[in-house]
Amino acid sequence: MNTQTHPAPQAVKTLPPNYQQRYNLDLKENFRVALSLNLAVLFMFFVWGYFFIRIATILRPSAWLGEQGFHGEVDLVHVVVIFAIMVVFHEGIHGLFFWLFTKERPHFGFKLLYAYAAAPEWYIPRNQYIWIGLSPLVLVSILGVVLFPWISIDWFPGLILFLTINAAGSMGDAFIILVTLSHSKNVLIQDFGDSFTIYGDPSD
């Protein structure tokens, strides 16, 4: 008979006594990984940009001016503002899902190469952590695509840039989710924002 027990599928503040560390990644100490993730973000910026441009031209052909691009303009000031709003929005969604699963206000921070939301006092089940990690990419992308047929065509460049930055910036989240998916659904994740640790039952 298998007598091993696992924690309830909810966030907890006390690590089960049989759980041990399985994986740890600290971006403060692993500059190579941090740099690689940022290079991946830069590459995916062009991939996601192409994707959203294609979707926009399909849903709203009248917004496309051929070689001139879309109606409307985005200058450097707009880029800075859009980026700042996106970061707040992106991390705010992470924070909202941390709060939904822990019922406590999450921690927010900003480092040289990234911003983050975290709940360092909590151990979060893998499946809940996947929701936390992917929520900005999924929700913002869906909302943006839904808006394409309805918003003013002059807003298209700004909206596409917002969606592209958000999606490209989610590549770090996607990497972490891929790491967690390589572990059992019973693992618990502790997230400090700039580092995270996976704990699990050795017998699982």
Predicted confidence pLDDT, tens digits, the chain (204 residues): 444 566 667 899 999 989 999 999 887 777 787 788 888 989 999 999 999 999 999 998 887 766 667 777 788 898 999 999 999 999 999 999 999 999 999 988 876 556 788 999 999 999 999 999 999 999 999 999 999 999 888 888 999 999 999 999 998 899 999 999 999 999 999 999 888 999 998 887
Q: Give a yes or no: residue 140 inside a domain.
A: yes
Edge-first strand order for the sheet with 20-26 is 20-26, 195-200, 188-191, 124-125
Alpha helices in the chain (DSSP H): 31-59, 76-102, 126-147, 156-169, 171-181
**d(Cα 108, Cα 88) in Å, to the nearest integer?**
10
Q: Give a yes or no: residue 167 inside a domain.
A: yes
Q: Give a yes or no: residue 39 inside a domain.
A: yes
Number of domains observed in the structure of the chain: 1
In the beta sheet, which residues pair with residue 115? 110
N residues, the chain: 204
Q: Give a yes or no: residue 146 inside a domain.
A: yes
What pLDDT is stored for residue 8 in this prediction? 63
Q: How many CA atoms lie within 13 A of 197 on its CB side?
A: 13
Q: Give a yes or no: residue 5 inside a domain.
A: no
Q: Give a yes or no: residue 105 inside a domain.
A: yes
Structural domain of residue 45, as residue ranges? 20-200
**d(Cα 141, Cα 137) in Å, to the nearest integer?**
6
Residue type, 111: K
